[in-house]
Structure 1
Amino acid sequence: MKKVLVIGIAIAFGFAVFMGGTPTTVQAETTFVTIGTGGITGVYYPTGGAIAKMVNNKRKEYGIRATVESTGGSVFNVNAVMAADLEFGIVQSDRQYQAWHGEAEWKDKGKQEDLRAVFTIHPEAITLVAADDAGINSIQDLKGKRVNIGNVGSGYRQNAIDALEANGLNFEKDFNAESLKAAEAPGLIQDGRLDAAFYTVGHPSG
């Protein structure tokens, strides 16, 4: 089993819980809300669970009951909140900015100015993890390698692309890019089927 080398890229982001749409009321005395998170093996899912637990501890006082939903991540959560499919969503702050200003994935949809931030949770860093025998000591060493840049709909995929472009690299030309979920990458690196993987995550992280 291979060891891994973690290379931190000096770009950090916070992530926040956003709201939009209208909560669902099934009974007059209880309002049900759903929090969009991320994959069940990531950070967002247990974070959403902790938030829901705090809300539910006060449900008799405020009449609100919260549940969590595993989702594709930041981009999915923004779109689901704006479509009123979710009441709240955990979203990277840079993705919030882009959605609000109608940039990146929201360029065609326009500015998402009905988004509202509720609170910030913690900072995150774009992180590059590599096999110790892959010969990767900097982002430039990714050329010709097998690299996971993240699943479509995740916030960290665009972070990876931005970091690559800032360093003069193109994921479509310079290496073999994979579009896997973050939880899939570590095992593939250890098995020698992947050389490196990007992940935007708070540290410490398992």
Structure 2
Amino acid sequence: MHAAVTRIQVPRPGFNYTFAHICILNNDKTCIVDDIVHVLEELKNARATNRTNFAITYPITHLKDGRAVYNGHQLGGVTVHSKDRVKSAEAVQLTYYLQSINSLNDMVAERWESSFCDTVRLFQKSNSKVKMYPYTSSSLREDFQKTSRVSERYLVTSLILVVTMAILCCSMQDCVRSKPWLGLLGLVTISLATLTAAGIINLTGGKYNSTFLGVPFVML
């Protein structure tokens, strides 16, 4: 998976950007990657050479070069043997750090994140036993957009109920004193006020958030 991510390319006129071009660099001009990646690579090399003297320990693992790396925040659901040796882990977190220097870099990074999510989904399809959840800088915005589509049915249902209750509350058995249109026009007034407030917030550069969905009901 890590190898597939580092091979992701973002084509631009005359050049193809990869993770190595947009990653945050160490002092030795190499990409910063999570320590758990080094741990897993060393475990892979140990198995390839039939070495049995390397084991992942939790929460600190000692690498072959003598470095002690902390993996407590990158492994979840850990089961350990004696001497903190990891028997199994239910979750692994991998983080990739991208630069944010200028507008071009931000645009490339955004497209790289999109390709990253596609790569993770493809890897998920070919490895159905492993559950993978990509998370990028745009994940919250995308989730919010999905939430608005999912809640559309409930929002429409709530509005119909509110309109019905407003009309019923202003209705009486006496047809002279009954004023159902007054209740309906009251809702229209509140709706116009809400739209006006949202327009003012939008013009002043404010960002939309889910709190605004409850404003009409609070005003009622």
TM-score (norm 2): 0.20
Higher relative contact order (CA 8 A, sep 6+): 1
TM-score (norm 1): 0.21
- Is the strand fraction higher in 1 or 2? 1
Q: Bigger radius of gyration, 1 or 2? A: 2
